[in-house]
Amino acid sequence: MRLSTAQIFQQAVTAMQNKQVELAKTQQQLATGQKNLAPSDDPAAATRILDLNHIIETTDQYQRNADFAETRLAMEEVALTSVGDVLQRVRELAVRAGNASLGAEERQIIAAEVRTNMEDLVQLANSKDASGEYLFSGFQSDTEPFSHDGSGNFSYAGDQGQRSLQIGASRQVPVGDAGNDVFMKVADGVGGISNMFAAVYDFVTDLEANAPPTTTITRLDSALDTVLNTRAAIGSRMNTIDNQRNANDSFNLVLKENRSTLEDLDYAEAVSRFEQQLLVLQASQQSFIKIEGLSLFNYL
């Protein structure tokens, strides 16, 4: 085919420009480490990456929720352990006070200690979590749940709400127990239901009247049972959280690998492509110079 001089020039220039475009793209890939620089490079991968980002970041949020849930449960656990310790101490004192040879003065000393313990119990039942919310007041988390009128009537101002947190795509875990269930449902020793504080209060009243405790040990045992059961439930929730956290971790690991194959550049391939493109560009430049030097006019 016949070629025009202008076309020979233009073709060489166009070829070099195209090579430069390719080279610039590879260079940008190398600089960013990204395989695709815009969604149009691979629309299917772009959407998949957005999808994966969403799932990965949501799972990261579940991990944060899990941390939050664990912290809150740990605080509840600490409060209930203390409640258990106090109840245990009161129970020891109840056993000692049951001794018929005990004098009035000794019973008064014990009474003083148990009264302190009772106040401790109310205080523990009114514990707050890290964000200042009452642990045992149900949904009414800024209402102090337990109060004492000074004459043995203990009332619960919270409700029976139980907050759950999302720790997995389809898993929620309760992060608290309403005080009603933990402190207000203790056997009263005569077939009915009373509260934990009243058991201790009645013990104090007995002691101050220099009488041996009557139903105290039964009631304390019932209270200790409730506390233990609640702690067991907390333990199993913490297990659930641990399991879910591990599951979330492995899930995210797989997703991140998946995302990496979609968006990360294969450096070995890209570097060798870069070298090749560089070589081709240099070759076109050199051949351009030689061809442009050719002209019949040089010989006229």
Q: Considering the complex, what minimum distance in angstroms separates the CB of residue 184 from another protein?
A: 6
Q: Which residues pair with 186 in a beta bridge?
A: 194
Q: Considering the complex, what minimum distance in angstroms separates the CB of residue 82 from another protein?
A: 22
State the DSSP string of 24-42. HHHHHHHHH-BS-SSGGGS
Closer of 183 and 201 to another protein (Cβ): 183
Closer of 196 and 207 to another protein (Cβ): 196
Residues contributing to the site for another protein (CB under 8 A): 1-7, 14, 38-44, 46-47, 50-51, 53-54, 57-58, 61, 64-65, 68-69, 131-134, 137-143, 156, 159-166, 169, 172, 180, 184-185, 193, 295-297, 300
> Residue type at 32?
T
What stretch of H or E contains 263?
helix 216-263
Termini Cα distance of the chain: 25
**How many angstroms separate the CA atoms of 261 and 48, rounded?**
11
Q: Considering the complex, what minimum distance in angstroms separates the CB of residue 80 from another protein?
A: 18
Q: Which residues pair with 155 in a beta bridge?
A: 147
Q: Considering the complex, what minimum distance in angstroms separates the CB of residue 133 from another protein?
A: 6
Nearest one of 159, 163, 165, 152 to 181, comparing CA atoms: 159
Tokens of residue 215, six digits: 């139903």
Q: Considering the complex, what minimum distance in angstroms separates the CB of residue 8 from another protein?
A: 8
Closer of 7 and 250 to another protein (Cβ): 7
Closer of 160 and 250 to another protein (Cβ): 160
Q: Considering the complex, what minimum distance in angstroms separates the CB of residue 300 from another protein?
A: 6
Closer of 69 and 94 to another protein (Cβ): 69
Q: Which residues pair with 128 in a beta bridge?
A: 134
Nearest one of 79, 81, 187, 84 to 134, comparing CA atoms: 79
**How many angstroms separate the CA atoms of 35 and 33, rounded?**
7
Closer of 5 and 101 to another protein (Cβ): 5
